[in-house]
Amino acid sequence: RQSVRVPGAKFLRVHFEKIQVEARYDHVRILTAQDDHVQSFTGSQTGVTSDYVEGDTLVVQLQTDFSTVDYGYRIDWVEAIR
């Protein structure tokens, strides 16, 4: 779990330079601070932006079945709307 927090933000989103997880079995999930599911990604993708999450905190969760080791994900920027 990785929390992204920007104090005072009304909405947040993250941009993934790269996501590479086992398709269909592993997921990178975007959650609110209250753990409500917003979006998920699986497989290999580059240059992907998440949906906006309301509030000043966004959570990125890597859910995996541990059967295959892969890259994971890399966030290269965060956008905050105040």
Per-residue pLDDT tens over the stretch 59-69: 999 999 988 88
What's the pLDDT score for residue 47? 98
Which among 56, 72, 62, 81 has a CA at the least distance from the CA of 4?
56
Q: How confident is the model at residue 53 (pLDDT cuts 50, 70, 90)?
A: very high
* pLDDT surpassing 90 at residue 44: yes
Task: Give me the percent of the chain exceeding a pLDDT of 90.
Answer: 95
Distances 69 to 26, 48, 52, 65, 66 between C-alpha atoms, Å: 10, 21, 29, 10, 7
Per-residue pLDDT tens over the stretch 8-26: 999 999 999 999 999 999 9
Give dist(CA 33, CA 42) in Å, integer: 21
pTM of the model: 0.94
